[in-house]
Every structure is written in structure tokens, then in C-alpha cells.
Amino acid sequence: MLAAGLPAYAQTGVLPPAEARGPAPAPAGVPNFWNVERRLERPDASQLPATIRFLTTDDFPPFNFLAADGALMGFNLDLARAVCAELGATCTLQTVPFADLLTDLDENKGDAIIAGLAATPAVRQRADFSERYLGTPARFVGRTGTALRAATPEQVANKSVAVVAGTAHEAYLRAFFPEAGIRPYPDAAAAREALRTGEVDLLFGDGIGLALWLNGAASQSCCRFVGGPFTESRYFGDGLAIALKPGNDQLRRALDYALQRVWEKGVYADLYLRWFPIGFY
């Protein structure tokens, strides 16, 4: 007889099947966009295409790009392959110019787009979207030796903050950090160099781009993230999702199911940590 309050495997040493155990917790810092309490219905494979034709581009590293040997690589592509594997479908990945993505989808040259296409109101008139699989948060970055651990308006009030002029990030700073010493720069490279050289105390910008910079040689290991992510969609968008032809609800539901299963099985976390060794969440 099992002791009250203890699960069976705690006494028998035999783990239940993976399906019964539920999803394992993700490593710290890996984002989660899925409600693990919601159980999506597994799609009927007979109602899905045997091959899912993904359209993408080859100039958006580290999401989708051509490696030195000509191989198509990136987080988006690995995620598409994982989704197809979950659905028991074959994947094809066709690169086209970014400007042609929606036209090729309209002309049935592909079933779905996975290329960082923003779900703006104009785009939503031509495409439906899966649930998002990645956000595009904003982050503060400071020099490695900074004593700051959080980035509240009070803590940033007496700091000089670099930001790219005319961006949503500048608008956000002016709305919510009005006491900061906001210093606009003409582009991201200039803003990052200002922080690296100590011209400013902090930098505020796109978390993904900043994570890649921090992980690259250009930063010279000068800096680190300060505080947590800022995710207000009105300023920073709804994140990344898969685009499909309007009305293709069967495939959209299947992609949503597969994306959640990829998360639950830990595959998503593996891909995120592989492609973003310095995470932006």
C-alpha cells in the first residue's frame, strides 16, 4: 500500500509514461508561450498534407540563413522540422525573397511561411497566423561591472541611456522612463559602441539583436543584460508566428498542436539554447 500524499513512483522507483507525467519544466530563461494546462486535440493525420511546404528566406540569421557551405540553417528551420516530425509529415523549405513571401503563399507555392513575418493589420488581411512561438522583447544592457540588477524607472532615473532614434524603443523610454537621460543615436551600431566605450550607462533596444551582440566578438565581452524583458506588444509587436493562407484552419490547428508538443517535450528549449546561448528573456 502506498503512503498517503506520495506519488507511486516515489516508492516504487518506476516512472509513469511520459504522457502521464506531463511536460518537464524548461531551463531557466527559456520563454514559454503555451498554456500547458490546455490539452489540444491531436490532428487527424489523414486530413493533413503528407508534405508541409514552408516558405522562408536565407538572410535572417540566426533564424533562417545560408551557412558557408550553402546549407539552409537557423532556429526557424529547426523548429519547422520539429513541427513536421511531431505531425509525422515531410517538410520542404523553399527560400524566396522576403517581398515575395505573401505572393507565393497566395499563389499556392507554399503552405506556410516561417520567416519572421510580422503579423501587422495589413498582413493579417492576406494571411492567418499560428499562435506565436517567440516574442521580440526589449531589454536594457549595461557594462559588466554595473551594480544594477533591475531596471525600474526609479533605478534608471539618474542613468544615461542610449537608444536608436525614432524607434519604438525610444518612444517606450520617453513614455515610461522620462527621468532617464535618454540619448538617441542614429543606428544600433552607434548606440552599442556608446555603451561599450562607457559614453553612456545603459542601452535599451531589441532583446534579440542585443543577445546576438553580447554573444559576438563586437561586444568584446563588455556588457550584460540588466533587469528583465519588456514585452508590451503595442510597442514591440506580437512576436513570431507561422503564417498560412486565410481559412486553412485545419493546418493552423495542427501547427498549434505541434508547437505546443515541441515545447512540452523539451525540443523547443533545446533549440532555443542552441541558437541563443545568451538568451533574451
Predicted pLDDT of residue 150: 93
Predicted pLDDT of residue 12: 34
Q: Which of 117-126, 142-151, 205-214, 219-228 has the lowest mean pLDDT?
A: 117-126
Average pLDDT over residues 161-171: 98
The model's confidence at residue 23, banded by pLDDT at 50, 70 and 90, is low
* pLDDT(14) > 90: no
Residues 49 and 90: their CA atoms lie apart, in Å, by 9
Q: How large a percentage of the chain has pLDDT more than 70? A: 91
Average pLDDT over residues 191-210: 98
CA dihedral 86, 87, 91, 97 (to 10 degrees): -90
Predicted pLDDT of residue 157: 96
Plot region of 166 (φ>0 → left; ψ -120 to 50 → alpha; else → beta): left
Residues 81 and 85: their CA atoms lie apart, in Å, by 6
* pLDDT(8) > 50: no
Parse the chain into domains and list their residue ranges: 47-135+238-275, 138-236
Q: 47-135+238-275 and 138-236: same fold?
A: yes
What's the whole-number average pLDDT of the chain? 90
38-74 b/e (C-beta count within 10 Å ≥ 16 → b): eebeebeeeebeeebbbbbbbeeebbbbeeeeeebbb
Q: Which of 22-36, 41-55, 72-86, 266-280 has the lowest mean pLDDT?
A: 22-36
Average pLDDT over residues 138-152: 96
The model's confidence at residue 45, banded by pLDDT at 50, 70 and 90, is confident
Domain 47-135+238-275: give its CATH architecture: 3-Layer(aba) Sandwich (3.40)
Domain 138-236: assigned CATH number: 3.40.190.10
Predicted pLDDT of residue 24: 53
5-22 b/e (C-beta count within 10 Å ≥ 16 → b): eeeeeeeeeeeeeeeeee
Residue 179 grid coordinates: 527621468
Predicted pLDDT of residue 47: 83
